[in-house]
Structure 1
Amino acid sequence: MSETKAPIQAPNEVQSAVQTVVKVIRAQQQFVRSGATRPVEFRLRQLERLKAAIARYETRILEALQQDLRKPELEGYSTEVGYAYDSIGYVMKRLKQWVKPERVRTPLTHVGSSSYIYREPYGSALIIGPFNYPFMLVIDPLIGAIAAGNAAIVKPSEYTPHVSGVIAEMLGEYFDPGYIQVMEGGQEVTSALIHAPLDFIFFTGSIQVGKIVMAAAAEHLVPVVLELGGKSPCIVDHEADLDLAAQRIVWGKFLNTGQTCVAPDYVLVHESVKAELIAKMKAQITAFYGEDPQQSPDYGRIVNERHWNRLMGLVDSSKVAVGGTGEREDLYLAPTIMENVSWEDQVMQEEIFGPILPVLDYQVLDTALRNIGERPKPLALYLFTSNSRTERKVMESVSFGGGCINDTIMHLVSPYLPFGGVGSSGMGAYHGRYSFETFSHRKSVLKKSTRVNLSFIYPPYTAGKLKLIRRFMK
């Protein structure tokens, strides 16, 4: 997830902010320690309350998304509001089963005993959200935090002030700050939060800031989940359905104006079908957004001028096949396809996180896979092919967070699949039950029998006891 910010430090001037944050954290930790969040009935009521809050504020949320990102209502509902409804419903139907102590197998060396895993809340969890899906990417982790019995501090992105304001008002109206607190602001607030003695941090954003968050968390040994990003490849084989590939690649790339952490960052296509694929993608852009996407109500805008400037700097006009134009005052950047791109070009040196799609070609799949493997592990990978051997080869050869075969983005939507990165694209995963697990500490408990006592493990040690232990442990 590429949300580039200047490095966050912990200078003396933020110490007062840290003190304020610590007071909130202490109050939340005390609330969790009181046992108030433990009953599953309490958690279900809070999830129902959250759903009611979203329903009441739905119109304002969608309006705020339009103001901050020019996000179309359908996109805003399906990827943010509606997604939250579905996530809450899924968790509520299953939470009673998830919170039960889980009995697991016990080895023969503990004969007469039983083994259990108890899931307990960490305490006060910090959720830091990004600008690209500014509502969903704080609410979805919050659902997991509530389900697991935590209190939470929510830090929305300052880059989307309208959405941030609505979130603050909504959660402030429906929840006590000793349970759920929203903290708005810029780098000073974020710095104060990540340097505070929290119990858990869930961060979605850029690799650069993820490193800073992790370093700050180390001060108090706070566990972290980092949902980051990277350059997610999209491989198109010569045996792919090119019409389908063009439609699904264009949709996945230009959804939310390319500001999606799992968007195809670049296309790696077999040279024999490259020209045809580019022509079909060009036609698909027109089919989606018309001859002038700037006039389309279905095409959004870049979040701010700084990001617009960064993106325009990645466009090489000599390699533009489609688009390449923009208007700073409108924060508009046309859906852009660049061809004849090499691995050394500037557009291939960082995650794009915008509506620019470089196209590279390959002759031999092994070479393409080696090129991908020599770079940081991506958050997502997409493959378009009708060949099952190619499919198996790619899936077994490349390490990535998650992905799709013959589609883009959609693996993100399944609550049955964990979503998260690997290596520099992140650590930890969530969605569905994985959200509950992520925000839960798994406490291992062995319940020993009082009727069976293995006295041979106690001193004094003898040759006979050693012989018996060797029988059991080999």
Structure 2
Amino acid sequence: MELIHTDIDELPSIVQKLRKSFHSNLTKPLRYRKEQLGNLYRMIDENEQAFCDALYKDLHKHKYESLLGELAWVKQEALDTTSSLKNWAEPNYVKVNLGYMMNKCHVRKEPVGIVLIIGTWNYPVNLLFMPFIGAIAAGCTVILKPSELSVHTSALISELFPKYLDQDAYRIVSGGAVETTALLKHRFDHIFYTGSGKVGKIIMSAAAEHLTPVTLELGGKSPTIVASDVDISILAKRIIWGTMYNCGQTCIAPDYMICERSVQDAFIKEAPKVLEQFYGLDPQSSTSRYCRIINKSHFDRLQNLLNQTKGRIVHGGNFDKEDLYISPTIVADVPKEDKLMEDEIFGPIFPIVVVENLDEAIEYVNSKDIPLALYPFSKSDKTVKHILDNTRSGGVVINDCLMHFTVKDLPFGGQGPSGIGSYHGKRSFDTFSHERSVMTTPFAMEKLVKARYPPYTEFNMKLLFWLFFSKPKKTRNIAFKGIFGAAIMLFIVYGIRKIIL
């Protein structure tokens, strides 16, 4: 399937059309938003096999990985969002003190406007449509830019999308760097990008020209810190699964393990058994259970990394460029300054760094950029707490990996170099919503509020300070004073209402 690039000359009219649709309030009714969420669900559900076929052609994904890692989560997010939307969109009335008892103060949830969502190639369905669901729910109009590297999946999306989603509100723009650069010249009300930190800087720089807020879902070297008390057989299964899932091309994949030598020695004995259990003796010929590298450029990058390492390749290290195949590879005794430890690997290569103790591991992790995920493994709650108290990361999974991404009520996002902002569930709705503060003051309150007008008097100032500003609470007789104060407040409010009304 061929990916047809959008004509750059069409971009101004596309942006203008979506902005006009937004200002016409097309996307604001909840009924409309729910209808569009249902249409997105149907698009995935009715074309499930076509999506699985496209994902196989792009990344050699097994059908179960396509369903569980991509399609099912998008469908579930659409369902959950639809059922929660009315509650999320309702105004929130805030608590006020005595001075505002006659006012109505609430927060309206309003769509930010026209949104640009730029997807990525490693999960070309999930990472494009999950934020899109939040943008639909918030009431925005949206331009989606799928990755040009996942050619077959992006081409399928471009073909199906207009058949299901309202083109007056949501549009696909296909293409590569040229089309993306042209898009970024336009003013958007929010930009959501998933991908590398290098491109993230370009996105953020372009957004700054229009003071456009951004959500950046990036990546980094997500470490696995393993204590010496772990169950090695369970550790090996969970780490190998997380590292080799999607051939390591996952932004929250365990990028390396840091542990004492005894743990490394036990792991490299157990890991080959797990790999054989998962992928057979020859992962390349396994029944499509093992993915491939996205393209030759990324293949060459990974091969060069492995060629330059000073560590010991204890398993794997096999390459087939024509098939874009790199075997599951484990590298032991990797020096801290090794080439493998410079940047995110984003492939099926798993380095192990040996340290003397836990504190040395923590110190090394803290010497790197803040990772998108952190994976501590230990049977001891005290050890895990020590790791969490002394490190930073976007998210944490204790004694497992990747799975926090699947919990809709956990915000997913990074910090600093690993990202800005978060999404999933209500956080996606919040990301594309503006909390608009609204305060209503009745005209009948003029007799009271005139105390704020000049000329100022001592009595008026005392009244205003009493109404609006609190004093430190004393600890003695709190219950009695609270009841007495409440009674006085009710009496005063009743008196004010009699005066005003």
Interval of TM-score (by shorter of Structure 1 and Structure 2) = over 0.9
Q: Which amino acid aligns with 2:358?
A: L
Counterpart residue identity of residue 469, structure 2: M
CA distance in 1, matches of 2:260, 2:98: 56
Match of 2:181 in 1: 191
The alpha carbon displacement at 1:173 in A equals 1.4
- Is the aligned partner of 1:369 residue 2:377? no
Question: Residue 460 of structure 1 corresponds to which residue in structure 2?
Answer: 455
Q: What is the total number of aligned residue pairs between the two structures?
A: 458
**What displacement does 1:198 show?**
1.3
Q: Secondary structure at the match of 2:34?
A: helix
Superimposed CA distance per residue, residues 258-307 of structure 1 (whole angstroms, 9 cap, x where no aligned partner): 00000000011223322002211222111111111111120010000000
Letter in 1 for 2:422: A
1:329 alignment partner, SS class: coil
Q: Which residue of 1 aligns with 2:32?
A: 42
Please tell me whether the aligned partners of residues 234 and 381 of structure 1 are also in contact (alpha carbons under 8 angstroms): yes
Q: Deviations over 1:134-172 (max 9, x none)?
A: 111111111111111111111110101100111111112
Aligned equivalent of 2:387: 394
User: Pick from 337, 352, 357: which aligns with 1:359?
Assistant: 352
Per-residue displacement from partner, 1:180-238 (whole Å, max 9, x unpaired)?
11111111100011221111111000000000000001111111100000000011111
1:181 corresponds to which of 171, 174, 180: 171
Q: Distance in 1 between matches of 2:64 and 2:456?
A: 72
1:302 aligns with 2:293: yes
**Correspondence 1:235 to 2:225:** yes
**Please, what is the CA RMSD of the aligned residues?**
1.5
Paired with 1:363 and 1:387, the residues of 2 have a C-alpha distance of 18
Percent identity between matched residues is 40
> Using the alignment, how far apart are the partners of 1:107 and 1:398 within structure 2?
40
Amino acid at match of 2:451: F
TM-score, reference length from structure 2: 0.89
Partner amino acid, structure 1, of 2:409: Y
Query: Quick check: 1:417 aligned with 2:407?
Result: no
Partners of 2:130 and 2:423 in 1: CA distance: 9
Instruction: Name the CA distance, whole Å, in 1 between partners of 2:207 and 2:97.
Output: 37
Match runs of 1:310-389 below 5 Å: 310-315=301-306, 316=309, 319-389=312-382
- The aligned residue for residue 92 of structure 1 is 82
C-alpha contact 2:106 2:438 (8 A) present in aligned 1 = yes
Residues 249 and 348, structure 2, Cα contact 8 Å, conserved in 1: yes
Q: Secondary structure at the match of 2:292?
A: coil
Matches within 5 A, 1:65-84: 65-84=55-74
Which of 154, 158, 162 matches 1:168?
Answer: 158
Decide whether the 8 Å contact of 1:320 with 1:339 is kept in 2.
Answer: yes
- Residue of structure 1 equivalent to 2:209: 219
| Cα distance in 2 for residues equivalent to 1:309 and 1:376 | 25
Residue of structure 1 aligned with 2:136, choices 143, 146, 150? 146
CA distance in 2, matches of 1:298, 1:162: 19
Distance 2:456 2:275 in 1: 78
Q: In the TM superposition, what whole-angstrom CA distance separates every residue of 1:58-105 from its partner, at most 9, and x where no partner exists?
A: 111110000011111100111111111111111111111111111122
Distance 1:203 1:69 in 2: 21
- Once the two structures are TM-superposed, the CA of residue 318 in structure 1 deviates from its matched residue by 5.5
Moved more, 459-468 or 230-239: 459-468
**TM-score with structure 1 length normalisation?**
0.94
Conserved 8 A contact 1:119-1:442? yes
Alignment of 1:286 with 2:281, yes or no, is no
Which consecutive residues of structure 2, in runs of 5 or more, have no partner in the other structure?
A: 1-6, 471-501
Decide whether the 8 Å contact of 1:128 with 1:155 is kept in 2. yes
Runs of 5+ in structure 1 lacking a partner? Answer: 1-15
How far residue 332 of structure 1 moved from its aligned partner, in angstroms, is: 0.3
- Residue 433 of structure 2 is matched in structure 1 by 440
Q: Which residue of 1 aligns with 2:96?
A: 106
The answer on 1:130 being equivalent to 2:140 is no
SS of the counterpart of 2:120?
coil
**Residue 469 of structure 1, CA deviation:** 4.1
- For 1:300, the aligned partner's letter is C
Highest CA radius of gyration, 1 or 2? 2
Compare 423-432 and 30-39 and name the one that shifted more.
Answer: 30-39
**Change beyond 3 A, Cα 1:114–1:393:** farther
* CA shift in 2, pair 1:318/1:441, >3 Å: closer
**Contact 1:241–1:384 at 8 Å: present in 2 too?**
no
8 Å Cα contact 1:203-1:226 kept in structure 2: yes
> What letter corresponds to residue 48 of structure 1 in structure 2?
G
Report if aligned partners of 1:28, 1:123 keep a CA contact under 8 Å in 2.
no
Moved more, 277-286 or 375-384: 277-286
Where does residue 261 of structure 2 map in the other structure? 271
Do 2:259 and 2:357's aligned partners in 1 also have CA atoms closer than 8 Å? no
- Alignment map for 1:200-215 (pairs within 5 Å): 200-215=190-205
